[in-house]
Amino acid sequence: MNNEVTRPLSRFILAAMFLLGSGTMLSAAPPNVIVIYADDLGYGDLGCYGSPTIRTPNLDKMAVEGLRFTDFYSGAEVCTPSRAALLTGRYPLRSGMAGPRRVLFPNSNGGLPPAEVTLAESLKDAGYATSHIGKWHLGIHEGSRPQDQGFDATFGLPYSNDMDGRADLPKGSSGSPTPPKDGWNVALTHNGKVIEQPADQTTLTKRYTEQAVKFIRANQESPFFLYFAHTFPHVPLFASPEFKGRSRAGIFGDAVEELDWSVGELLSTLRELKLAGNTLVVFSSDNGPWLTMGNQGGSAGLLREGKGSTWEGGMRVPGIVWMPGKIQPGVTTQMASVLDLYPTALKLAGASSPQGVSLDGLDLSPLLFDRKPLADRSFFYYRGTEIFACRIGEWKAHFQTQIGYGQPKPDLHTSPLLFNLALDPSEKRDVADRHPDVIAQIQAAVKDHQASVVPAAPQLN
């Protein structure tokens, strides 16, 4: 047998061994993987996470049927580095996708380096069809675009929907409850070609969903990876006529409820095609709510602060994982993050980790499929290129603190702040003076981590 035949066969055998080893039913093919990523959705913005005003029946059902995480984290506090962390499985400093400018802008020269091995590239090498739908925000130049980074197809916006604002746009328009429909000149692209400029943002969620369903149907006979990165609820907020004005939470709620509808469309398609039991679906958000946008900014629930900060509200986000018949329904307090999706997907696909690449996540499959606790580990809260905080177990230490927006310089804590997140998830009661041993343990973990990180050339300058 030649290599082109033996490689797919060996991957199937590896995937089969994994599924049998985790006590689940053997599937006829390696599992599909879908990651649905909201933009600026807060911890408190879904019904299953406590929202009293936004109706999310499809996500609530997904949470009931799947595993809902109470302690799930984005890879960074803002858009670009968070997305880099998801697709590389690495803290953004390693790829150069972090820095003082915080995110990529239309005039940025950098982007996700071609040398980075993305999840899409690894799964494509394992025989998966790959598609990106929605917001990209990892670079518009050659080498950094979706099809340069392992995606067979792409449909969406190159960056945030509030960029490319019209020259005469009044200040604050992006955060208005009634933003001008023609206020932003951001382009809608399909496989690298502009198909509409400016993009009609009232149609984005619906059109994204149609493309996602089309991709699933076209690839139902072979394994696929879909990275579905919604534009909303990032401001400016828009909703289709079917959803505008329906929510008690104004246009923000309208946008989230349409996003919930989109999730329902995907899950019902998987059920219809008999793919639900062989598709890992993950739903999360790139960071916390943009609180400075007021009613258009969402909620972090009981968590402190929001987008842009390393307080819990900035990086602890909804996390729901669904695979009926394989993942038993429940709620877990185990700490996990988007960094874990890369090694988890590789395990499911029977694929090897990229050689010479340091991944920062853990394989979640023991927790997802056997409910085994995860190994003890540290989680590092980066703001730009610096570690502002670190969590081990229930303990979180802050070395620097800064609200997301409006505070020019961080507060430096030569004596770190310490919070027990089980007892005090709102981070109100500093208990550092009572637990010097915990502080010492966390400081040692930070030192070890920093010694292992080689920063890449900055891309966001």
pLDDT for 15: 52
Confidence of residue 28 (pLDDT cuts 50, 70, 90): low
The answer to whether residue 137 is catalytic is: yes
**β-strands 336-337, 378-383 pairing:** unpaired
Q: Judge if 252 and 393 occupy the same domain.
A: no
Q: Judge if 411 and 355 occupy the same domain.
A: no
Does residue 457 lie in a domain region?
no
The string of pLDDT tens digits covering residues 270-308 is 999 999 999 999 999 999 999 999 999 999 999 999 999
Q: Judge if 158 and 34 occupy the same domain.
A: yes
Mean pLDDT of the region 307-331: 98
Instruction: Tell the burial category of 378 from Cβ atoms under 10 Å away from its Cβ (0-12, 13-18, 19+).
Output: middle
pLDDT for 29: 83
Q: Judge if 231 and 328 occupy the same domain.
A: yes
The string of pLDDT tens digits covering residues 237-275 is 999 999 999 999 999 999 999 999 999 999 999 999 999
Q: Which two tokens stand for residue 5?
A: 């035949």
Q: Which of 311, 336, 370 corresponds to the end of one domain?
A: 370
The string of pLDDT tens digits covering residues 86-100 is 999 999 999 999 999
Active site residue: 48, 132, 137, 390, which one?
Answer: 137
Instruction: Assess whether pLDDT exceeds 90 at residue 12.
Output: no
The mean pLDDT of the chain is: 94
Q: Judge if 335 and 444 occupy the same domain.
A: no
Confidence of residue 24 (pLDDT cuts 50, 70, 90): very low
Q: Which of 370, 403, 419 corresponds to the end of one domain?
A: 370
CATH for 64: 3.40.720.10
Does residue 270 lie in a domain region?
yes
Does residue 67 lie in a domain region?
yes
Q: Judge if 192 and 299 occupy the same domain.
A: yes
The string of pLDDT tens digits covering residues 56-82 is 999 999 999 999 999 999 999 999 999
CA distance 387 to 371: 31
Instruction: Assess whether pLDDT exceeds 80 at residue 3.
Output: no
Q: Judge if 174 and 66 occupy the same domain.
A: yes
pLDDT for 461: 85
Mean pLDDT of the region 455-459: 97
Q: Judge if 151 and 246 occupy the same domain.
A: yes
- Total number of domains in the chain: 2
Instruction: Assess whether pLDDT exceeds 80 at residue 25.
Output: no
Contact 444, 378 (CB under 8 A): no
The answer to whether residue 48 is catalytic is: no
Q: Which of 370, 389, 421 corresponds to the end of one domain?
A: 370
Does residue 174 lie in a domain region?
yes
Mean pLDDT of the region 99-116: 96
Instruction: Assess whether pLDDT exceeds 80 at residue 1.
Output: no
Confidence of residue 26 (pLDDT cuts 50, 70, 90): very low
CATH for 439: 3.30.1120.10
In sequence order, what are the residues at sequence separation of 6 or more whose Cβ sits closer than 8 angstroms to the Cβ of residue 330?
Answer: 67, 68, 371
Q: Judge if 365 and 427 occupy the same domain.
A: no
Does residue 50 lie in a domain region?
yes
Does residue 233 lie in a domain region?
yes
The string of pLDDT tens digits covering residues 146-184 is 999 999 999 999 999 999 999 999 999 999 999 999 999
Mean pLDDT of the region 202-217: 98
Collapsed DSSP state (helix, strand, coil) of residue 201: helix
Does residue 218 lie in a domain region?
yes
| Of 16-20, 378-382, 392-396, minimum mean pLDDT range | 16-20
DSSP secondary structure, 58-96, as one string: HHHHHHHHSEEEEEEE-SSSSHHHHHHHHHHSS-GGGGT
Q: Judge if 352 and 423 occupy the same domain.
A: no
Does residue 112 lie in a domain region?
yes
In the block, tokens 């985790």 appear at 22
Active site residue: 79, 132, 234, 398, which one?
Answer: 79
∠ at Cα 227 (452, 377), nearest 5°? 30
Contact 48, 68 (CB under 8 A): yes
Q: Which domain holds residue 395?
A: 378-452
CA distance 194 to 405: 33
Q: Judge if 396 and 358 occupy the same domain.
A: no
Mean pLDDT of the region 44-53: 98
Closest by CA to 143, choosing from 95, 185, 103, is 95
Q: Judge if 383 and 318 occupy the same domain.
A: no
Please state the pTM of the whole predicted model.
0.94
The string of pLDDT tens digits covering residues 347-371 is 999 999 999 999 999 999 999 999 9
